[in-house]
Amino acid sequence: MKINFGGVIEDVVTRKEFPLTKAKQVLKDEVIAVIGYGVQGPAQALNLRDNGFSVIVGQRKGGQSFEKAQKDGWKEGKNLFDIEEAAKRGTIICYLLSDAGQIQSWPIIKKHLTPGKALYFSHGFGITYKKHTKIVPPKNVDVILVAPKGSGRTVRKLFTEGKGINSSFAIFQDATKKAKERILAIGIAIGSGYLFETTFEKEVFSDLTGERGVLMGAIAGVMEAQYNLLRKKGHTPSEAFNETVEEATQSLIPLISENGMDWMFANCSTTAQRGALDWKGKFRKAVEPIFNDLYKKVKSGYEAQVTIKANSKKNYKVGLQKELDTIKNSEMWKTGTTVRSLRPERQK
């Protein structure tokens, strides 16, 4: 259906026009093989299973993810296999390994992309940056994408609550002439609230920009800057954290989610309103050059190179944990642990 987004008309697909019953009809003869059980894999596989689709999981044996799949009820030899066996059995191969994992396992997956199958992604990275990933699918398979706009945990949580997450979809290659029906059916099957169309390139450009920007990198950096300033000016850790993080996550961001930024402003004090309206433009102008630089590096493939190089190191996870521990063990986030423990619902 056509929807007006701030004056721009877009085509979106909702559950009303593409109900679950239609998705089941489209996919009734398909075996959906979810390759990878790390971030998106568990949520999408479980949602597909709960919705009654024929789904199997492919994961390397002996690792934590394989054990997690078993704990979630997947049975080895029945609907849980190693990666190659799952790829062989699947007619739609959902390639949900990490970007580095996709590069490593590509020779195995490619071998089982026989004519008429579909190769499904939830991220445009591998295809868009094929110069670096070497992921080039054969011409006789569909190459499709559904990218939920949230983490796997959120995809699963909203599904179990009877809700749904917004997702984008894209078609890179339509070998069977039924790629669109296939991808819309899967989008609905994994629990999407509505689907909007994009391309593999645009998905990955917006995704990498968003993760490094507002969604993760920028918000973490801005919070650290404000917390550190307040501490230097003599405010206590509790006060600095509450004014920087707790009030944002527990009070203001939920108001934005409920009805928009203007709604959040309208439900704050007149002093807060005036300050926010006067200062938001200054912050926007300050960060616009950073966002321009970020987008250029994403589009050029520079960020992809950095990611692939880092993730390919044998000790990557060890180094990553050190970086995460640095955040966890900082005064700011130690304070956060204490503040969260003092929430009424967590007190016993």
The catalytic site residues sit at 123
10 Å CB burial of residue 51 (0-12, 13-18, 19+) is middle
Can you say how many angstroms the Cα of residue 25 is from the centroid of all Cα atoms in its chain?
27
| Calpha distance 291→218 (Å, rounded) | 10
**Which long-range CB contacts under 8 A does 330-339 form with residues at least 24 apart?**
331/231, 331/237, 332/223, 332/224, 332/227, 332/228, 332/237, 332/240, 332/241, 332/244, 332/245, 335/237, 335/238, 335/240, 335/241, 336/241, 336/245, 336/246, 338/238, 339/238, 339/241, 339/242, 339/245, 339/246
Counting DSSP H helices and E strands in the chain, the numbers are: 19, 10
CA distance 69 to 257: 32
Reported as half-sphere exposure (CB side, CA atoms, 13 A), residue 1 has a value of: 9
d(CA 85, CA 310): 29
- The tokens of 342 are what? 């003092």
Among 104, 100, 63, 103, smallest CA distance to 82 is for: 63
Output phi, psi for 283, to 5 deg: -65, -40
The residue behind tokens 């917004």 is 166
Bridge partner residues of 92 (DSSP): 32, 118
